[in-house]
Amino acid sequence: MFKKGMWLASLMMLLFPVLALAEEAAPTVESVNSAVGMANIGLNSLWVMIAAILVIFMQAGFIMLETGSTRMKNAGHVAGKTIFTFGLATLVFWMVGYGFIYGTSSGGFIGIGNFFFSPDYVASADAAYAPAIDFVFQLAFAAVSLAIAWGGFAERGKLSVYLIFTVVFIGFIYPVVAHWIWNADGWLAGLAKQDFAGSTVVHLTGAMAALAATILLKPRIGKFNKDGTANQILGHNQVFTTMGVIILWFGWFGFNAGSTLGVGEGFFGYVAFNTQLAAGAAAVAALIISWIIMGKADISTMLNGALAGLVAITASCAYVEPWAAVVIGLVAGLLVFFSMKLFEKLGIDDPIYALSVHGMAGIWGTLSTGLFATEELIATGGKGLPGLFYGGGFEQLGVQALGVFTSGLFAFVVSFVALYIIKLVIGLRVSEEEEIVGLDLSEHGAYGYPENVKK
Amino acid sequence: MDQVLLMCESYKEKITQTTDLVQLRRIRESFHLVLTTEFHHDDLPVIHALNEVFDAMIRQVVFFTEQRISCEPGGSQPPVAYAYMLFGSGGRSEQMMGSDQDNGLIYEAVEDPAKSLEVDAYFERFAGYLTEHLVQLGFAECSGRVICTEERWRKNEKQWYSQMLSWMQDPTWEYVRYLLVLADGRCVYGAPSLYNRLRQKYNQYVRENPDILLAMLRNTLHRKVLIGLFGNVIKEPFGEAQGGIDVKYGAYVPFVNAIRLLAIRYQIVGASTLERIQKLYEAGWIDAERCQTWHEAFSVIICLRAATYMNNEEKLFVSDGKLKADQLSSDKIKRLKSSMKVAKHLQNYTRKLVARDSGGTTTWI
Are A96 and A89 in contact by the 8 Å Cβ rule? The answer is no
Are B340 and B233 in contact by the 8 Å Cβ rule? The answer is yes
Give the Cα separation of A187 and A99 in Å (integer): 17
C-beta atoms of B234 and A294 within 8 A: yes
Give the Cα separation of A70 and B341 in Å (integer): 38
- Residues A368-377 have pLDDT tens digits of 999 999 999 9
Q: Is the pTM of the predicted complex or chain greater than 0.80?
A: yes
Instruction: Return the pLDDT at A9.
Output: 59
CA A223 to chain centre: 28
At residue A278, the 3 state secondary structure works out as helix
Reply yes or no on whether the pLDDT at B363 is more than 50: no
Q: How many CB atoms lie within 10 A of CB B278?
A: 17
Are B106 and B82 in contact by the 8 Å Cβ rule? The answer is yes
Cα atoms in the 13 Å half-sphere on the side-chain side of B235: 17
Give the Cα separation of A401 and B95 in Å (integer): 58
Are A141 and A195 in contact by the 8 Å Cβ rule? The answer is no
* Residue bearing the bigger pLDDT, A128 or B221: A128
Give how far Cα B131 sits from Cα of A178, A445, B71, B140, B156, Å. 70, 49, 18, 9, 19
Give the Cα separation of A278 and A309 in Å (integer): 5
Q: Which residues of B touch A225 (CB under 8 A)?
A: 239-240
Instruction: Return the pLDDT at B4.
Output: 84
Give the Cα separation of B120 and B154 in Å (integer): 9
> pLDDT-derived band of residue B315, with 50, 70 and 90 as boundaries?
low
Instruction: Return the pLDDT at A453.
Output: 67
Q: Which residues of B touch A295 (CB under 8 A)?
A: 224, 226, 228, 234
Fold for the domain defined by A74-452: Ammonium transporter fold (1.10.3430)
C-beta atoms of B239 and A293 within 8 A: no
Instruction: Return the pLDDT at B172.
Output: 92
Instruction: Return the pLDDT at A303.
Output: 97
Residues of chain A with pLDDT under 50: none
Residues 171-230 (A) with a CB less than 8 A from some CB of B: 225, 227, 229-230
Instruction: Return the pLDDT at A94.
Output: 98
Lowest-pLDDT choice from A1-5, A104-108, B70-74, B220-224? A1-5
**Class of residue A429 by CB neighbours under 10 A (exposed 0-12, middle 13-18, buried 19+):** middle
Q: Looking at residue B233, what DSSP letter applies?
A: B
Q: Which residues of A touch B243 (CB under 8 A)?
A: 229
- Which value, in Å, is the radius of gyration of the alpha carbons in chain A? 25
Instruction: Return the pLDDT at B98.
Output: 79
% pLDDT > 70, chain B: 95
DSSP one-letter string for A235-300: -S-HHHHHHHHHHHHHHHIIIIIGGG-S-TTSHHHHHHHHHHHHHHHHHHHHHHHHHHHHSS--HH
Residue type, A343: F
Are A92 and A76 in contact by the 8 Å Cβ rule? The answer is no
> pLDDT-derived band of residue B359, with 50, 70 and 90 as boundaries?
low
Instruction: Return the pLDDT at A4.
Output: 62
Instruction: Return the pLDDT at B364.
Output: 42
Q: Which residues of B touch A232 (CB under 8 A)?
A: 237-239
Instruction: Return the pLDDT at A205.
Output: 98
- Residues B316-358 have pLDDT tens digits of 676 778 888 778 888 888 999 999 999 999 999 999 998 887 6
Best A229, A232, A233, A341 residue to mutate vs chain B (most B CBs within 10 Å): A229
CA B253 to chain centre: 10
Task: List chain A domain ranges.
Answer: 74-452
Average pLDDT over residues B269-275: 88
Question: Which residues on neighbouring strands pair with residue B106, listed in sequence order?
Answer: B83, B155
Q: How many CB atoms lie within 10 A of CB A409?
A: 11
Within an 8 Å CB–CB cutoff, is residue A5 touching chain B? no
Average pLDDT over residues B258-270: 92
Instruction: Return the pLDDT at B365.
Output: 39
Give the nearest partner residue to B239 out of A229, A291, A295, using CB atoms: A229
Cα atoms in the 13 Å half-sphere on the side-chain side of A437: 14
Lowest-pLDDT choice from A254-258, B5-9, B164-168, B267-271? B267-271
Average pLDDT over residues B138-152: 88
C-beta atoms of A230 and B238 within 8 A: yes
C-beta atoms of B230 and A292 within 8 A: yes
Alpha helices in A150-237 (DSSP H): 159-168, 174-182, 187-190, 205-217
Give the Cα separation of B365 and B355 in Å (integer): 11
Give the nearest partner residue to B232 out of A227, A229, A293, using CB atoms: A293
At residue A112, the 3 state secondary structure works out as strand
Q: How many CB atoms lie within 10 A of CB A6?
A: 9
